[in-house]
A = this chain, B = another copy of it.
Amino acid sequence: MSTPIAFSTNGNAAAFTVATGRGFQYGDGVFRTVLKFDGRIIDFDAQLLRLRDDAARLGIRIEEAGLAQLRDEVILVTAATETGAIKLVLTRRDGGRGYRSASGEADRHILLYAAPKYPSEYWSDGIVAAMSTIVIAQQPALAGVKHLNRLEQVLAYQAAPADAEEVILCDVGGHVICGGRSNLFCVIGGVLTTPDLSQAGVHGHMRDKVLRLASELGIRTRVAPIPRRHFAAADEVFVTNSLIGIWPLKRVDSRSWRTPGEVTSRLAQALAHPVLA
């Protein structure tokens, strides 16, 4: 699994400019992970728009034509693969050495991997997670953006106990923010609550999809700071991302939940996301 099935930069397999570029040197770019399942790229266009909007937050422009080009490249690169995890990356094109010599143009990268596989119980019974010892930093200039500076997540997984499939990160104020590779939801007094991401965290596509779905199902939703004790007192908790859909949390450190919770089940059923087992 350490090498992707396929890789492309601006439509070519050449990687030299990437290796020495701003993506590698500064993490100066953004990404989105998209699932291709049974020949269909799930929420492809919505994810492309998120990628573009994230890039814009960093001052990296990709025009309609560039986005269409990326779309075509993805279809080409993934044509022979029915099911896979596609990582779309936009980096700022190089203007030279140093932070300053930056252009506002985007280089397009596609990495195609075999889809991950997990026990099917992860979807039905949930997973074990652990509260991270890494406190996520507050940086409003980058909050919400799925950018390439992901060392906090790397450190969080490194410090996590072996039995934890996911880590939960809190900010310095003791609010839960997100999972290491997921967004976080709590059902608190019947209200589906997910952390405010204005200071830290990543605005995942699946997060919005679940919030929208909840509204359609008549479930009340709320986006707000969630103190750790409210999280621990929640009736149901689950994590989401574009590969897994929804995974209930059955245990976080010493706190256990009976899974699957009622609200979680309704959402998972309505979402009908593929089980990658």
Are B97 and A138 touching (Cβ within 8 A)?
no
Q: Is A44 interfacial (CB-CB < 8 Å)?
A: no
Closest to A27 in B: B27
User: Which residues of chain B are within 8 angstroms of A158 by Cβ–Cβ distance?
Assistant: 59, 102
Are A111 and B20 touching (Cβ within 8 A)?
yes
Are A139 and B157 touching (Cβ within 8 A)?
no
Are B154 and A139 touching (Cβ within 8 A)?
no
Q: How far is the CA of A60 from the CA of B25 in the complex (A)?
A: 17
Given A134-B141, A137-B139, A152-B142, A23 and B24 contact (CB-CB distance below 8 Å): yes
Q: How far is the CA of A7 from the CA of B89 in the complex (A)?
A: 23
User: Which residues of chain B are within 8 angstroms of A92 by Cβ–Cβ distance?
Assistant: 154
The CB with the most chain B CB atoms within 10 A, among A16, A22, A141, A151, is that of A151
Given A23-B24, A137-B137, A150-B149, A94 and B2 contact (CB-CB distance below 8 Å): yes
Q: Is A190 interfacial (CB-CB < 8 Å)?
A: no
A111 → B minimal CB distance (Å): 6
User: Which residues of chain B are within 8 angstroms of A116 by Cβ–Cβ distance?
Assistant: 97-98
Q: How far is the CA of A176 from the CA of B30 in the complex (A)?
A: 28
Query: Using a CB-CB cutoff of 8 Å, which residues 86-102 of chain A contact chain B?
Result: 87, 89, 92, 94-102
Give the interface size bracket for A toward B: 35 or more
A99 → B minimal CB distance (Å): 5
Q: How far is the CA of A44 from the CA of B50 in the complex (A)?
A: 44
Set B1, B27, B149: member contacting A97, Cβ < 8 A:
B1
Q: Is A271 interfacial (CB-CB < 8 Å)?
A: no
Q: Is A9 interfacial (CB-CB < 8 Å)?
A: yes
User: Which residues of chain B are within 8 angstroms of A269 by Cβ–Cβ distance?
Assistant: none
Q: Is A205 interfacial (CB-CB < 8 Å)?
A: no
Query: Using a CB-CB cutoff of 8 Å, which residues 31-65 of chain A contact chain B?
Result: 31, 58-59
User: Which residues of chain B are within 8 angstroms of A175 by Cβ–Cβ distance?
Assistant: none
Q: Mark A4-28, 1 if CB is under 8 A from B, else 0.
A: 1001010000011111101111111
User: Which residues of chain B are within 8 angstroms of A58 by Cβ–Cβ distance?
Assistant: 151, 154-155
User: Which residues of chain B are within 8 angstroms of A201 by Cβ–Cβ distance?
Assistant: none
Are A20 and B1 touching (Cβ within 8 A)?
no
27 contacts between A and B (CB under 8 A): A1-B96, A4-B97, A7-B16, A15-B15, A20-B111, A24-B89, A26-B148, A26-B153, A27-B149, A28-B150, A59-B155, A85-B97, A98-B181, A99-B153, A99-B154, A99-B156, A102-B154, A102-B157, A134-B141, A135-B139, A135-B140, A137-B138, A137-B139, A139-B152, A141-B155, A147-B151, A149-B149
Rank and list the top 10 A-B pairs by shortest CB-CB distance, nearest first: A15-B19, A27-B27, A149-B149, A137-B137, A1-B96, A137-B139, A26-B150, A18-B19, A2-B94, A99-B157
